[in-house]
Structure 1
Amino acid sequence: MPYKERDINKMYYTMGEVSAMFNVNQSMIRFYEKEFDILQPKKNKKGNRLFTPEDVDNLKIIFNLINERGFTLQGARDYLKQNGSEAKESQQVISALENLKKFLLEVKEQL
């Protein structure tokens, strides 16, 4: 049986890692943290923010609502309060489709 590498899942991501994931400034992440109640990163003794994978998923939802779907900040806040579980499910579908696309592009390159 061939060796297959496991995906490494981190328990916490630093502010720098999260801002690099979304290709935005750290100040925008801090701003969204103040604006949205669903973002609750932990802080260590030095005050550095540590984001859980759930926080990263919530940020994906927020960025999707604001950047892709054109919601205002207040509109995104209201949408998340009313349709929080629906937004999480749709984000999971989007993530699965992105992973499938990445896999298919890798297969295409190997042909």
Structure 2
Amino acid sequence: MSYKEKQIEKKYFSIGEVAKILNVAASQIRFWEGEFDIINPRKNRNGKRQFTKEDIEKVKLVYHLVKEKGYTLQGAKDKLKSGTQATKDTMEMIDTLKEVRAFLVDLKEKMD
């Protein structure tokens, strides 16, 4: 197995890295952490948040409901209480469609 094939997978992400992934301020994620029970990253001895990929998916879910779908905080909380699977499926479908669109735009630009 070559070096390229054997990539080290990162286990924990800082709040800054998560904020960069979602293009929001770290303070927004801290706020959502206080508002939504599903966002509960572990903290190291220094009190720094350590987000797993699963934690990031939960933050993305809140982001999707609040920022993309326009839910109020209470509306998003109610939606999450009623079940997250349908919301996750919709979010994943939207992400896939965005990737397809980006690919097609890139392809069009290369053809011009």
Task: Find the residue that maps to 1:13 and give its secondary structure.
Answer: coil
- CA shift digits 1:84-107 (9 cap, x unpaired): 111111111111112212222222
Q: Which amino acid aligns with 1:51?
A: F
What CA distance in whole angstroms lies between the structure 1 residues aligned with 2:7 and 2:105?
19
Q: Which amino acid aligns with 2:19?
A: S
What CA distance in whole angstroms lies between the structure 2 residues aligned with 1:30 and 1:16?
11
* Percentage of pairs with the same residue: 44
1:8-47 map, 5 Å: 10-47=10-47
Instruction: State the aligned residue count.
Output: 108
The answer for the alignment partner of 1:58 in structure 2 is: 58
Aligned-residue Cα RMSD (Å) equals 2.3
What CA distance in whole angstroms lies between the structure 2 residues aligned with 1:42 and 1:66?
23
Task: Find the residue that maps to 2:71 and give its secondary structure.
Answer: coil
What CA distance in whole angstroms lies between the structure 1 residues aligned with 2:27 and 2:75?
21
What CA distance in whole angstroms lies between the structure 2 residues aligned with 1:62 and 1:77?
9
The normalised TM-score by structure 1 is 0.83
Deviation at 1:110, TM superposition (A): 2.5
What CA distance in whole angstroms lies between the structure 2 residues aligned with 1:92 and 1:81?
19
The answer as to 2:109 corresponding to 1:109 is: yes
Larger mean Cα displacement after TM superposition, 30-39 or 98-107: 98-107
What CA distance in whole angstroms lies between the structure 2 residues aligned with 1:63 and 1:75?
13
Deviation at 1:75, TM superposition (A): 0.9
Deviation at 1:72, TM superposition (A): 1.0
What CA distance in whole angstroms lies between the structure 2 residues aligned with 1:105 and 1:9?
30
The normalised TM-score by structure 2 is 0.82
Structure 1 residue ranges without an equivalent (≥5): none
